[in-house]
């Protein structure tokens, strides 16, 4: 039986085939996390001739640069990117996701919004029937932690501060337990109205159009119906 790390490597290899379908001189967005780290290593070893990569975090930027891959900033773009590729902490049948386990959710959502298409790469453990088992990451202005926590408790959540974590934008992360995210789009919009929240980890407005899912029997494709 393959380990989770081996499944991550499998889906990273499958993602290379998606990238080979792109015109060579394009820029793509790249997410953050251990599965994306595998992808970046595959991009470097396969010597894909893409024009550049927009990083969703300082971690990803350093990984790309360390392997000699050209990093491009969003303000250098003249048009939306063809593709953004990233992992997820959870993904449901409609390809809405929970993201932010790596504390990069705000930049991930921004970079995803700058691409025409989102391809999610995960192993089969991330597939769920409904979002909410994984605690929902929310980036919060640090001075607003107390009132934001009260608002989340009123919605039925149990927020806990992610100790020792400061985001790339200098803010804090609350991980919210106990939410039943039955309507991801409605939940995303509702959370966006709470003052002090910088970004919540529900990706419904920036949901994936395609998920590549690695399992013991290979990599399968899940597309938006």
Residues forming the active site:
108
Nearest to 121 by CA among 1, 28, 198, 16: 16
DSSP category for residue 99:
-
Q: CA of 217: how far to CAs of 11, 14, 15, 92, 100, in Å?
A: 12, 13, 16, 20, 28
Q: In Å, how far are 10, 44, 55, 156 from 107, measured between CA atoms?
A: 26, 23, 9, 27
CB 73 within 8 A of CB 99: no
**SS3 category, 113:** helix
Sign of CA dihedral 219, 31, 178, 186: negative
Residue with tokens 């991550």: 8
């Amino acid at each position: 039986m393959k380990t989770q790390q081996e499944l991550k490597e499998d889906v990273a290899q499958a993602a290379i085939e998606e990238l080979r379908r792109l015109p060579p001189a394009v820029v793509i967005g790249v997410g953050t996390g251990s599965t994306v780290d595998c992808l970046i290593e595959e991009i470097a070893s396969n010597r894909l001739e893409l024009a550049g990569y927009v990083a969703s975090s300082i971690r990803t930027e350093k990984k790309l640069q360390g392997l000699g891959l050209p990093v491009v900033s969003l303000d250098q773009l003249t048009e939306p990117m063809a593709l953004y590729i990233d992992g997820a902490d959870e993904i449901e049948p409609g390809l809405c996701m929970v993201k932010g386990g790596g504390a990069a959710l705000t930049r991930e959502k921004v970079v995803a919004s700058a691409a025409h298409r989102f391809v999610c790469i995960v192993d089969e453990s991330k597939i769920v029937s409904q979002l909410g088992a994984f605690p929902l990451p929310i980036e919060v202005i640090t001075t607003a932690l107390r009132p934001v926590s009260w608002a989340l408790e009123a919605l039925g959540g149990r927020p806990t501060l992610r100790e020792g974590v400061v985001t790339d934008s200098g803010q804090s992360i609350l991980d919210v337990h106990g939410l039943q995210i039955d309507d991801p789009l409605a939940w995303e919009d509702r959370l966006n109205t709470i003052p002090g929240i910088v970004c919540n980890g529900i990706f419904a407005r920036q949901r994936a159009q395609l998920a590549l899912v690695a399992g013991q029997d290979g990599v399968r494709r899940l597309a938006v119906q």
